[in-house]
Amino acid sequence: MKPIYFVLFSLFFAFTSCNNSGKRDKTLLPDSVGNINVLQIIIPNDLWNGAVGEAIRNNFAAPVDGLPQDEPLFSMNQMPPEAFTGFARSNRLFLYVVLSEEDKVTIATDEYAKPQKGAVIKATSEEKLVELIDQNSQKIIEAFHETEFKERQRRTAVSLLKTDSLRKVMGVSLQIPSAYRIATATDEFFWMRKDLKDGTTNILVYEVPLTMIANDSTAVGDIIKIRDSIGSKLLPVEDEGQFITEDAYAPYIFKMEVDGKFTYKTKGTWEVKDAWMGGPFINYAIKDEKNNRFLILEGFTYAPSASKRDLQFELESILNTAKLE
């Protein structure tokens, strides 16, 4: 028999906020709530404490790439289905997992609030639930991250740093929060930074010739050589140290597009040699063939006593706003 909480959940999906034509009217939905990268898990307690919950944790709380310490993709809060009512439905991200009479995965947009992204996974057995979670987690995570990037960028856009000089000199515009300040601005290099309670977050912008990154097989090595050369020359550190890529951990490299242009995205950790300083970085090398260059955008964090997932997430959301002239 189908559990009563799933019947109620299905009825709510079908009939909440319907207009005269029988279609759901989402214009009256309340605003969603929640901190960035917080995921509400709706699942019966017995499933959460067993193999199904373990599969959820393995996928949605997996360590974020490129951080010096393990931090989960999402901070998760679990509740049983009968508690998923009222204000609890306003969380911006939710994952609903339940036993049912069919095997199905659905990604829903703005079901109870806006903006909101939810995923519903239902299956006829616990084993099938685990299988569906493992098979579909990546596309669900991508949908969740897309929603969170947009939300982070929406919050940033409330108050922006004026970057006319960056656009004129480097030929790129970025939406950077006004909490940042321009620390260095030359014809070849821009450095923006934001002070934290204990540390800073930073954005670098510079360019190199297209020939500096030869091809896919050497890209990660070429990018590390470039950032180490620029960082050691242009970023001031104490006691004649050098700001370089930490060589104890291999960086992660991905291919993507920024403003319609091919881009290498590299994540790793930096250090100042013999100074016990370090932290995560994310580097975008944007292939700008029109101007015969790779435009380099980098965000890095120094915050020794703080978690760094959301700080780096903010930096990545800023880099993703890049528009090349």
Q: For residue 290, is pLDDT > 80?
A: yes
- The pLDDT, as a whole number, for residue 182 is 96
Supply the DSSP string of 28-43, one letter for each residue: GPPBPB--TTEEEEE-
pLDDT tens-place string over residues 30-44? 999 999 999 999 999
What single-letter amino acid sits at 284?
A: Y
Q: For residue 175, is pLDDT > 60?
A: yes
Tokens linked to 124: 């006829």
**pLDDT, mean over the chain:** 90
pLDDT tens-place string over residues 243-279? 778 776 789 999 999 999 999 999 999 988 766 788 9
The CATH class given to the 164-324 domain equals: alpha beta
List, in order, residues 6 or more apart from 255 with CB less than 8 Å away.
216, 262, 263, 264, 265
Residue at token pair 């969380």: 91
Q: Residue 190 belongs to what H/E stretch?
A: strand 189-196
- The pLDDT, as a whole number, for residue 25 is 64
- 123, 116 contact by CB (below 8 A): no
- 202, 191 contact by CB (below 8 A): yes
Instruction: Count Cβ neighbours within 10 Å for each residue of 32-65 and write b for 16 or more, e otherwise.
Output: bebebbbbbbbbbeebbeeebbebbeebbbeebe
- 163, 174 contact by CB (below 8 A): yes
List, in order, residues 6 or more apart from 124 with CB less than 8 Å away.
99, 100, 101, 102, 103
Cα(28)–Cα(135) distance, rounded to whole angstroms?
34
pLDDT tens-place string over residues 82-138? 999 999 999 999 999 999 999 999 999 999 999 999 999 999 999 999 999 999 999
List alpha helices for the chain, DSSP H: 4-15, 45-48, 51-60, 126-156, 164-170, 219-234, 309-319
- The pLDDT, as a whole number, for residue 17 is 46
State the DSSP code for 246: -
Q: What is the share, in percent, of the chain residues with pLDDT greater than 90?
A: 79
**Widest distance between CA atoms in the chain:** 72
List, in order, residues 6 or more apart from 205 with CB less than 8 Å away.
166, 170, 172, 174, 189, 190, 191, 192, 295, 296, 297, 298
- The pLDDT, as a whole number, for residue 15 is 44
User: Which tops the pLDDT comparison, 61 or 7?
Assistant: 61
**Residue 45 φ/ψ, nearest 5 degrees:** -60, -40
Position 139 confidence tier, pLDDT thresholds 50, 70, 90: very high
- The pLDDT, as a whole number, for residue 14 is 46
* Residues of each domain in the chain carrying CATH 3.40.1000.10: 164-324
Among candidate residues 78, 102, 103, 99, the one with its CA nearest the CA of residue 88: 78
The angle formed by the CA atoms of residues 59, 62 and 66, to the nearest 5 degrees, is: 140
Torsion (CA) 308, 309, 313, 319 in degrees, nearest 10: 50
Is 0.85 surpassed by the pTM of this model?
yes
pLDDT tens-place string over residues 200-242? 999 999 999 999 998 999 999 999 999 988 887 777 655 556 7
State the distance between the two ends of the chain, measured CA to CA, in whole angstroms: 60
